[in-house]
A = this chain, B = another copy of it.
Amino acid sequence: MSTKQTVTLVDVARRASVSLATASRVLNGSMRTVGPEFRARVMDAAQELGYVANANAQAVARGASNVVGLTVHDIADPYFSAIAAGVMRVADEHGLVMLLGSTERSPEREVEYVSMLRAQRARALIIAGSRTSDRKRIDRLATEIAAFRGVGGRVACISQNRLRTDTVLPQNRAGARDLGRELAAMGHRRFAVLAGPRGLLTASDRLAGFRDGIRAADVVPEELHLIHGPFTRDGGYESALELLRDGPRVTCLFAVNDVMAVGAMAALREHGVAVPDQVSVAGFDDIATLRDLSPALTTVRLPLEDMGVRAARMTFVDEESDTPRVARVRGQVILRESTAAPPAT
């Protein structure tokens, strides 16, 4: 509570009439190696002075900070904020702080963030959502990641398996397959897929899985119309409009993520297309905020927050392993009101 500008360890030591080293030991050091008498004096002094160790100084002296970094595409996207919540929780349990970078889906910014985190000497880095198939970008990122490791940092990815890092891998393909199978089994034969941007692995995996699923149901689709567009609500909306305008008539629409599905449903509603009576709609992710839609959205549930937790554990609680580990997490199909058998012709 002092009014002094900046209380340092020397101040505390002086006030407690002990050496700098002793003060350091009781306040931060590796535990009980200080007599109770001194210990108490130091604690009191620190308390009275309102002392808080300068984390930066500690980081430089120790050679490692207590920050962990997380990069996401867009923190306002509920998919990523759920992951962030998971990482946050674990960081907190371990007395670490979380530095967040929102890349706005720009690969350059992603690389910049990794670099900033290296500058901060972050002890861990979690990269969520970078799944491009562009070779050059991957290499650039890989280089930066290597540098990050070079200064002692550990890294994990969520949804990215071409980077030779530990990774939490949602089974996008398997999940979409299960979904596709169910939908085909319901009787659908004419599909449209809002497939997201080209070159985004998460999107293409889900598309591929969906195809697999239809095939697995021994169904030959009469139609499987693809529409590419942004991975966002508006992307879904626009894509659906496009379908309505000049696409084929379909009975089932699969959007490769929930937010796109919501956009699509809005477009359908505006055009008086009934869901699921005229067309069934399904998404992917099971975003919590979207669970109360009406009609309730059929989707594939991913344990988002848990994925964040697992990635966090891999980077800063589990032992380091020499070979990259991958934690596969399975998606679970959740059939709700937005899907039903196709209308009788």
Contact = CB atoms under 8 A, between A and B. Distances in A.
B259 A52 contact: no
The 7 closest A-B pairs by CB, nearest first: A56-B59, A76-B85, A81-B81, A56-B56, A55-B119, A266-B292, A100-B100
Given A81-B76, A305-B76, A289 B56 contact: no
Contacts of A150: 3-6
A265 interface: yes
Given A99-B67, A101-B97, A266-B292, A75 B88 contact: yes
A65 B76 contact: no
Interface string A101-132: 11000000000000110111100000000000
Nearest to A290: B289
A292 B305 contact: no
A29 to B, nearest CB: 16
Nearest to A294: B294
Listed residue (A3, A84, A152, A287) with the most chain B CB atoms within 10 angstroms of its CB:
A84
Nearest to A57: B60
A182 interface: no
B88 A102 contact: yes
A317 interface: no
Query: Could you say how many copies of this chain the assembly holds?
Result: 2
Interface string A65-77: 1010000001110
29 contacts: A1-B143, A5-B152, A52-B115, A52-B119, A54-B60, A54-B119, A54-B121, A55-B116, A55-B119, A55-B120, A56-B56, A57-B60, A60-B60, A75-B85, A76-B82, A76-B85, A76-B305, A78-B78, A88-B101, A89-B102, A98-B100, A98-B101, A262-B289, A265-B292, A265-B294, A287-B289, A289-B289, A292-B293, A293-B294
Contacts of A292: 233, 262-263, 265-266, 293
Interface of A: 1, 3-6, 50, 52-57, 59-60, 65, 67, 74-76, 78, 81-82, 84-85, 88-89, 92, 97-102, 115-116, 118-121, 143, 147, 150-152, 233, 259, 262-263, 265-266, 269, 287-290, 292-294, 305
B60 A147 contact: no
Nearest to A89: B102
B116 A289 contact: no
Contact of A55 (B52, B121, B290): B121
A164 B116 CA distance: 33
Contacts of A76: 78, 81-82, 84-85, 288, 305
Nearest to A115: B52
A56 B269 contact: no
B84 A75 contact: yes
A82 B80 CA distance: 12
A206 to B, nearest CB: 20
A81 B304 CA distance: 15
Contact of A78 (B81, B97, B121): B81
Contacts of A233: 288-289, 292
